[in-house]
Amino acid sequence: MASTRGVVLSELTDPANRVALDVIDDVLQEAVRMQKEIEGMPLGLQFGGAVTPAALDVLAYASMSSGTLGDAISLLCQFEPYRLGFAQCALSEEGDKAVVTLHTQGTWATLPLQVEAALAGWIEFGRWITGNVSHPLCIEFAHAAAAPQARYEAFFHCPVLFDRGRNAVHIDRTLLGHRLAASNPDVCRLMREEMQRRIERYARGEQFTVRLEQAIEASLSHGTPTLESVAQAMSLSPRQFRAQASVAGTTLTAEVDAVRQRLARQYLTGGVPLADISQRLGYSEQSAFNRACVRWFGISPGKWRADAGPITPITPITS
C-alpha cells in the first residue's frame, strides 16, 4: 500500500527519510479499518509500546546519558518535534506534579492515534531509562476514547482521562531529580551535538549526505566501505552515487574519514575498549586506528583516554 503513494519500503529504516503526514494518515486509516474486528489493545498503544531505544537512535543515547530524568525530558521536548513532525512538547510544573504536554498541529483523521502512540512511546522509554522507576500519575487526551477506558489504564497503569482539552502526561515532580544509572556528561554532550548537527543538515536539505553517513556507519563493522556496497545500501547505482556525491561536494573517501573521526571521538569519550573501537570503525589492524587518531587529534587514542580521565561506559542499547 505504501509503495502506491511513492514511498520506497526499503528506505523506511533510514532515520533521515521522512514520509509525508498525509501518506501516514492514509496508511493508518487503513490499519484502523483492518483492526475493527480485532479485540485487544488500541492500535496507538500497540505502536507506542513497540518503540525501542534502538529506534530512537541518537536521541536514546543522549537521553539515557543525561544526568536526571528531568534533563532527559527537557531533551525530549527540544528534539521530539523533529522526530514526530506534527507536534511541540513542553514541560511544566503544576503543584506537586510535573506535566509534559504535547501540542499538536493539524487535523487529519488519525491524529488521535498518533498522539496515543507518542505518549505510549514516552512512557515505555521513560520506564526503560529509569529502570522501571518512572510511572505516570495520570494521562490526559484531548480526544474521545477509541476503545474501553480500561484498556488504556491497563497499559499506562494509571487513570486515563479523555476529552480533556490537552494531551499530557503527569508524573510526580520529585521524579525530575531521579539520577539516571547511565548518566555520562561527555556522552550526553556529544549526542546532543550530533542530534543538532543532523537536524540542521536535514533542514538545509542535505538528505544525501545524511543518508550517506548512515550507510557508512552501518557498514563500518565489515571493513572499509566500498563504493559498490555504500551505493547499494542507498538504493543507488555507482554512477548515480558519484553524480549525487559530486552535487553534494563530497566523496566517499572524505565521508568515511569524517564518520570515523566523529565516531572515534564518541567511542573514546564513552569508554569503549580501544580494540573494540578499531573493529567498529572497520580497521583491519589497531595500528591503523592509532595512526588515524594521531592524524585527527594529534595524539594516540591511549593518550586521549589518559588525558580525559576515567570514563564510566554506558550500557549498550539493544532492541
Mean pLDDT per block of 10 residues along the chain (319 residues) reads 50 54 58 57 83 74 90 88 77 93 79 89 89 89 91 94 94 93 88 82 72 87 91 89 88 93 84 89 92 91 73 40
Predicted confidence at residue 72, as pLDDT, reads 93
Predicted confidence at residue 3, as pLDDT, reads 46
What is the CATH code for 206-308? 1.10.10.60
Predicted confidence at residue 224, as pLDDT, reads 92
Predicted confidence at residue 37, as pLDDT, reads 42
Closest CA to 263 of 194, 188, 202: 194
CATH architecture assignment, domain 2-177:
2-Layer Sandwich (3.30)
Beta bridge partners of 88: 103
CA atoms within 13 A on the CB side of 3: 3
Domain residue extents for the chain: 2-177, 206-308
Closest CA to 212 of 252, 156, 169: 252
Grid cell in block for residue 264: 572515534
Grid cell in block for residue 285: 589492524
Grid cell in block for residue 318: 539493544
